[in-house]
Amino acid sequence: MLFTTPEGKEVPSLSADQMREVDRIAVEEFGLGLLQMMENAGQNLADVVLDQVPHIEGTIVVLAGPGGNGGGGLCAARHLHNHGLDVELILAELKIGQATQNQLNILEHSGISVLKEDEISGELQNAHVVLDALIGYSLKGAPRRNTARLIQLANQLAERIVSLDIPSGVDATTGETPGIAIHPQITVTLALPKSGLAQVEGDLFLADIGIPLEVYTSMGLDLEPFFGQKYWIPLEKKANQ
């Protein structure tokens, strides 16, 4: 599957394994830091929300998983908070990665705390926007336990869902859903679109997280710059000929 920019430039898609290799090369060979890419992801996610969701009134609830996807969602929460919006946090797990914990620490120092269990359903139902940052491209099998419960609640209660990178519960490579999956109105994918997004409904945007094009060159992908003067762009689906 190929995707195209509004100007008609073709943008190739990656499988989950290819994206893992992109991340590995970016970090181990080019020296990009996880927090750098997380910051770019979160800022662009927040910017898409501010641009694409009109007249935000009420809260924005962030569903955050324990890994890098969750960290990007928490980073977006900070940027939205800095723009004067009311942000609430829901963690799928108490044990989270170090980079994600770093993002959470900043939010907690800013006075933003994690919702209590008895507050979750009400806040999801009343939220103007729910940000899905639970799993990302690292899905392995069907979502389980609290993550599955939060996906079910969001689908039932949320007025509008925006997913980061790929909707939680969707296989990034195939687009299949081995279990329950989020149904977003908007997906903001990172670096390059994931091939599984061909099966996802809703608006699709691609965000730049600062990965040099030379990272892709080392994998045999010869890409021309396609962001132009933007840090995120809309994408359309185009079937391979």
What are the pLDDT tens digits along the chain (241 aa)? Answer: 589 998 889 999 999 999 999 999 999 999 999 999 999 999 999 999 999 998 898 899 999 999 999 999 999 999 999 999 999 999 999 999 999 999 999 999 999 989 999 999 999 999 999 999 999 998 989 999 999 999 999 999 999 999 999 999 999 999 999 999 999 999 999 999 999 999 999 999 999 999 999 999 999 998 989 898 999 999 998 765 4
Predicted TM-score (pTM) of this structure: 0.96
Q: How far apart are CA 184 and CA 160, in angstroms?
A: 7
pLDDT value of residue 156: 97
pLDDT value of residue 77: 98
Question: Who's near 122: CB < 8 A, 6+ residues apart?
Answer: none
Q: How far apart are CA 95 and CA 75, in angstroms?
A: 18
pLDDT value of residue 114: 96
Backbone angles phi, psi at 105, to 5 degrees: -60, -40
Beta strand extents in the chain (DSSP E only): 2-4, 10-12, 59-64, 86-91, 129-133, 161-164, 186-190, 203-207, 232-234, 236-238
Domain that holds residue 71: 2-238
pLDDT value of residue 107: 97
Dihedral class, residue 191 (left if φ above 0, else alpha if ψ from -120 to 50, else beta): left
Backbone angles phi, psi at 236, to 5 degrees: -120, 155
CATH code: domain of residue 219:
3.40.50.10260
Q: How many domains does the chain have?
A: 1
Q: How far apart are CA 124 and CA 159, in angstroms?
A: 8
